[in-house]
Amino acid sequence: MKKRTAKSTLSRVLTIALFGLLALGACKGKKKVVAAPEPAPVEEVKPTPPPPPPAGPSAEEVAVGKLENYFNSIAGSSNVDAANRTIQEAKGMFSNGSTPVLIVIHEANGIKDYDEPTTIENYLNYLKDTKKNLNFISDIRLDGNGKVSELELRRKK
């Protein structure tokens, strides 16, 4: 067997101490590294365009509203003179006094059956005489000048 000397013992102790220090140093370095969170991607925010302004009523819708008022006014008129004045006013909305008025009496599978065709002048006088507005406007056609060129009515339910 070999003899141990103080020098070899000291060398061994220093070697063990060196490994111990390395081991302790390595433990400190093994701490969990918390990664900094990545910044959230910046979304490009585009300003939304303002909504388009609400469209005003079409010429047909305006004409229908006015005609319905005229029809109700003529039918509900208390005297003949007032009804005649309203009739003259209403006739101004039409291309002429003989503008056709069609009254739908039945419709099936897209096929319409009409009552005997009449003119706007006759229809307005009919409203004045009967004092009843039993129909509503279902279709209206305007000419290039914005005047009514054809009117289709249906029976109110």
Q: Is residue 20 part of a domain?
A: no
Q: Is residue 46 part of a domain?
A: no
Domain range for 83 is 59-155
Q: How many domains does the chain have?
A: 1
Q: What distance in Å separates the CA atoms of residue 83 and residue 133, rounded to the nearest whole number?
A: 13
150 band by pLDDT with thresholds 50, 70 and 90? very high
CATH number at residue 125: 3.10.450
Q: Is residue 131 part of a domain?
A: yes
pLDDT at 92: 94
Q: Is residue 16 part of a domain?
A: no
Please answer whether residues 136 and 154 qualify as being in contact, where contact means their C-beta atoms are separated by less than 8 angstroms. yes
Least confident range from 7-21, 68-82, 96-110: namely 7-21
Return all residues near 77 (Cβ < 8 A) that are at least 6 apart. 83, 86, 128, 131
Q: Over the range 45-74, which residues count as b (16 or more CB within 10 Å of their CB) and which as e?
A: eeeeeeeeeeeeeeeeeebbeebeebbebb
Q: What distance in Å separates the CA atoms of residue 143 and residue 130, rounded to the nearest whole number?
A: 30
Arithmetic mean of pLDDT, 117-136: 94
Q: Is residue 43 part of a domain?
A: no
Q: Is residue 32 part of a domain?
A: no
Burial class from Cβ neighbours inside 10 Å (0-12, 13-18, 19+) for residue 142 reads middle
Q: Is residue 38 part of a domain?
A: no
pTM for this entry = 0.64
Q: What distance in Å separates the CA atoms of residue 74 and residue 123, rounded to the nearest whole number?
A: 11
Q: Is residue 65 part of a domain?
A: yes
